[in-house]
Amino acid sequence: MSRGRKAYRAGGIAALHLLVFIALWRGTTAADWRAFAMVYPLAAIGVGVAMHRYFAHRAFGTSRVFQFALALMAALSFGNAVHFAGKHRLHHRHSDGEGDVHAPRQGWWQCWFGSLIDCGYSDTRIRHEARRWLAYPELDWLYRHGALPALLVCAILFAIGGFGMMVIGGCLPGVLLLHQSSAVNYFCHCRGRRAFATRDDSRNNAVVALLTYGEGWHNNHHRFPRSARAGLRWWEIDMFYWVICLFEALGLVWEVQRIDDRRLLAAGSAWKPQQGAQP
């Protein structure tokens, strides 16, 4: 990646954090937080359900229209669903090894921030991994202009409520989700419990799972990456799976990938089926 692109990404991350700090220091209004309450849930679903479980792992099927809606939700976090899908496929292929750009073994900074500034893969390689999605012109456009939806939302919020609403409603969701995702990348590969024997260092971390709406059941996820449900036991709360179930009930998604007890037991792990549990 060129120095210019690295500087652009580093500057963008720094600017988002600085804007949030300034807005909180100046003081906020109830209207600012109402804007946050509208944008953040959509952006969170965009990261956990859209970017991760759909675009990266195809944990369910959907229509072309709702597929684009999911990609737009992901863009609200200043994320890029198609780019993430390509990068994340490479993460799973090389998890905690030489080719894993955000493995904790490379240090906290690289895992938390460095891989966001320089993903470690060429654009050609990312596009190759994500070629399935780039066949759709609307997703290819969003791949090339990923920040525009979030910037448009920021502009609208600024026009409605000024600086505070723009930052709290438009920028803070992206900042929080950045740290939530990085917490999974770091803590869930070095702190927690291993329910399954996988070839990587993935862990289930209950604290991270609560803070990331189910993404912290990471060892489960690495053992069954296509599963729509990361929290496999009845007590492993997975709000993103609940969202997928809601979308399924509404007819927005289908062919939801689920893992039954027989496959879990065959995985040869510490798994113990729970009475009445329906993974």
Instruction: Give DSSP secondary structure letters for 177-237.
Output: HHHHHHHHHHHTTTSSB--S--SS---B-HHHHHHTTTTTBHHHHHHSTT-S-S--STTS-
Distance separating alpha carbons of residues 168 and 156, to the nearest angstrom: 13
Residue 62, SS3 per DSSP:
strand
DSSP state of 264: H
Give the chain's largest Cα–Cα span.
Answer: 56
Tens place of pLDDT per residue across the chain (279 aa): 667 778 888 999 999 999 999 999 999 999 999 999 999 999 999 999 999 999 999 999 999 999 999 999 999 999 999 999 999 998 888 888 877 888 888 889 888 998 888 877 888 999 999 999 999 999 999 999 989 999 999 999 999 999 999 999 999 999 999 999 999 999 999 999 999 989 999 999 999 999 999 999 999 999 999 999 999 999 999 999 999 999 999 999 999 999 876 666 666 555 444 333 333
φ, ψ of residue 253 in degrees (nearest 5): -135, 160
Domain ranges of the chain: 3-266
